[in-house]
Chains A and B, each alone.
Chain A
């Protein structure tokens, strides 16, 4: 079974630029999550989708972050404009349902200069 795929693996941008990350969950997984992991900290949930609907986006900085999950499969997370403090690893995870075990992708490491 293929795992959660994410791209790109690394991204370096300058502040005020825009960036987008892509996630392809495990086939059949209805629930998809985006986490932000700042260096030296545990992951923090940004947004959770159930199929193509948002379940929880209470910790998403909506003035600059946006996410979508068209057709309930792949998802993109966008930052516009980026700030220095957005430097982090962005992890995508998926699960069969919202009560099931989450499986994580390898993450995208973002460096904002």
Chain B
């Protein structure tokens, strides 16, 4: 079974600074997707970024980028120029390709942004 681990229950960052959230996963498969979701206090889960395992290039979405290390099974999220609105729970998730669309989530990291 696939597992996703987020080892940082809480992180804090100063506004305008950069922060990196860690995620590791365990799988014996080679074709899968990885995701970072953001869940603000309102509870609406929002997709931040996704990475296809077959792509070597790290995904980037504006201030959000990932460091995908397939051999190490590591998938960290970097948030640059942090803003107050970035404060939320962040969940790393894994999905095996061609096997329905079942997402396996990590336990989450709470990000606090200090003004």
**Footprint of B on A, CB under 8 Å?**
3, 31, 33, 40-45, 48, 55-56, 89, 91, 93, 95, 97-107, 109
Selected interface stretch from B37-45, B57-65, B68-76: B37-45
Bound-state CA distance A21–B108 (Å) is 25
Is B47 a contact of A101 with CB atoms below 8 Å?
A: yes
A-B contact pairs, 29 of them (CB 8 A): A3-B44, A33-B101, A40-B107, A42-B93, A42-B105, A43-B45, A43-B103, A45-B103, A48-B100, A48-B102, A55-B100, A56-B102, A89-B43, A91-B43, A91-B45, A93-B45, A97-B101, A98-B100, A98-B101, A100-B101, A101-B47, A102-B47, A103-B47, A104-B37, A104-B46, A105-B44, A106-B43, A107-B43, A109-B43
Is A42 a contact of B101 with CB atoms below 8 Å?
A: no
Q: Which chain B positions have C-beta within 8 A of A105?
A: 44
Question: Chain B binding site: helix, strand, loop or mixed by DSSP?
Answer: loop
Count of chain A to chain B residue pairs whose CB atoms are closer than 8 Å in the complex? 56
Can you name 18 extra interface pairs (CB under 8 A) apart from A43-B45, A43-B91, A100-B101? A3-B44, A31-B101, A40-B108, A41-B107, A42-B4, A42-B105, A42-B108, A44-B105, A48-B100, A89-B43, A93-B45, A99-B97, A103-B47, A104-B44, A106-B42, A106-B43, A107-B43, A109-B43
